[in-house]
Amino acid sequence: MSILTVRDLATHFHTRDGIIRAVDGVSFDLAAGETLGIVGESGCGKSVTALTIMRLIPPETARIARGSVEFEGRELTRLSEEQMREIRGKSISMIFQEPMTSLNPVLTVGTQIAENVWRHTGVSKQQARERAQAMLDLVGIADSRRRLDEYPHQLSGGMRQRVMIAIALSCDPRVLIADEPTTALDVTIQAQILDLMLELKEKLGTAIIMITHDLGVVAETTQRVVVMYAGRKVEEAPVEELFARPLHPYTHGLMRAIPRLDADAETAGRRPRLKEIPGMVPRLDRPIAGCPFAPRCDFATERCRVEAPPLEDHGKGHLAACWETARVQAVAA
């Protein structure tokens, strides 16, 4: 049962140099309690997709050019700012990469959690403070009573991200959007935060959209994955299926481009060459004819350069936008 339905969403930025099509026709569903990964490299539109759902794109330059975002039967793209504020932090929450820049440096962490609670639930300030302390306990911050009165700068990076999660989950949201939540953290702290998020998801039943560039994080935390490239969804599949049988040449290339930690990539004493994806991402300030990945693709044919491939269903919930999936599969096998 889908609780969030995104259809043909397009977000364009109007700049002096023209229109940047940051997101250009993205569709996906999020089921209740599910973890969906959105993966892609810088500029692929994964963060702008999230910000568009939250209606946090800058109104001076950005427009939702078309498409819809339906949440629990309401069309978010048409809500007023007032109505959106009722949803943000209550029904849909978001956490960001750098907690220090999203926390207010002059307010105690207790105040920042409690603020979200009393805004949305109308409880007394005392009750909100109690809720804040319970949230700190929930996210594994020891000595929560004392921590309530501390300021963000007194906390480590990992603890700040725990506080962000505490704020985000304080009103039992249905959906948590996490935009690179562990990218700024050290690996041992990243492991703690990812485990915490998954544990809380089990406990509270929150659906998560996990936005990341890290295929390791995707593999370990998500159930289904959307792969984005140049503002479009190029592939979608259940996570095991995606890693076992990537159908889009971009996904296939990404998986071969990453150095591997697991043993099967090892060859005695030698350093195998990584598979490169040549060239770089296309500019988004002009319309792209054909498949956006074609100029970097080993499988590209004449047709790819002129005719954009539609997303096709390959069974098992596996979608890919590529004319040459048969050849990609033959190589990947």
Partner 1 sequence: MSDAPSLEVRNLVKHFPIHSGLLQRRTGAVKAVDGVSFAIRRGETLGLVGESGCGKSTVGKTVLKLIEPTSGQILLDGEDVTHLSPGRMWHHRRRIQTVFQDPYSSMNPRLKVGTIVGEPLENFGIASGRDKDERVAKLLERVGMRPDAMNRFTHEFSGGQRQRLGIAKALAVNPDVIVADEPVSALDVSVQAQVLNLLIDLQDEYKLAYLFISHDLAVMRHISHRIAVMYLGRIVELTDKRTLFSMPMHPYTEALLSAAPVPDPSKKKARRIIVQGDVPSPAKPPPGCHFHTRCPYALPKCKVEVPPLIEVAQGHHVACLRRPVGASPEPLTPTA
In the chain, beta strands by DSSP E: 2-15, 18-31, 35-39, 62-71, 74-75, 92-95, 175-179, 207-212, 224-229, 232-238, 312-313, 319-320
By CB under 8 A, residue 41 contacts partner 1? yes
CB distance 141 to 148 below 8 Å: no
By CB under 8 A, residue 16 contacts partner 1? no
By CB under 8 A, residue 122 contacts partner 1? no
How far is residue 159's CA from residue 11's CA, in Å, rounded to a whole number?
A: 34
Binding-site member from 59, 73, 105, 259 for partner 1 (CB under 8 A) = 259
Question: Quick one: 109 exposed, middle or buried, by C-beta within 10 A (0-12, 13-18, 19+)?
Answer: buried
Q: Which two tokens stand for residue 117?
A: 């609670």
Which residue's CB is nearer to partner 1, number 87 or number 230? Answer: 230
Which residue's CB is nearer to partner 1, number 128 or number 141? Answer: 141
By CB under 8 A, residue 17 contacts partner 1? no
Size of the site for partner 1 (CB under 8 A): 47
CB distance 14 to 59 below 8 Å: no
By CB under 8 A, residue 143 contacts partner 1? no
Binding-site member from 8, 143, 172, 240 for partner 1 (CB under 8 A) = 240
Site for partner 1 in 155-214 (CB under 8 A): 156, 158-159, 186-192, 194-195, 213-214
By CB under 8 A, residue 333 contacts partner 1? no
Binding-site member from 216, 282, 290, 295 for partner 1 (CB under 8 A) = 216
User: Nearest approach, Cβ of 41 to partner 1 (angstroms)?
Assistant: 4
Using the rule CB under 8 A, give the single segment among 130-138, 235-243, 299-307, 313-321 that binds partner 1.
235-243
Cβ-based neighbour number of residue 63 at 10 Å: 14
CA angle, 300 then 25 then 244, to 5°: 55
Site for partner 1 in 77-116 (CB under 8 A): none
Paired residues of 237 in beta bridges? 225
Three-state DSSP class for residue 199: helix
By CB under 8 A, residue 215 contacts partner 1? yes
Longest dimension (CA), the chain: 67
User: Nearest approach, Cβ of 158 to partner 1 (angstroms)?
Assistant: 6
Which residue's CB is nearer to partner 1, number 206 or number 221? Answer: 221
What is the number of alpha carbons within 13 Å of residue 100 lying toward its C-beta? 8
Which residues in this chain contact partner 1 in the complex, by CB under 8 A?
Answer: 41-42, 156, 158-159, 186-192, 194-195, 213-220, 239-240, 243-244, 253-255, 257-263, 266, 268-269, 271, 273-278, 280
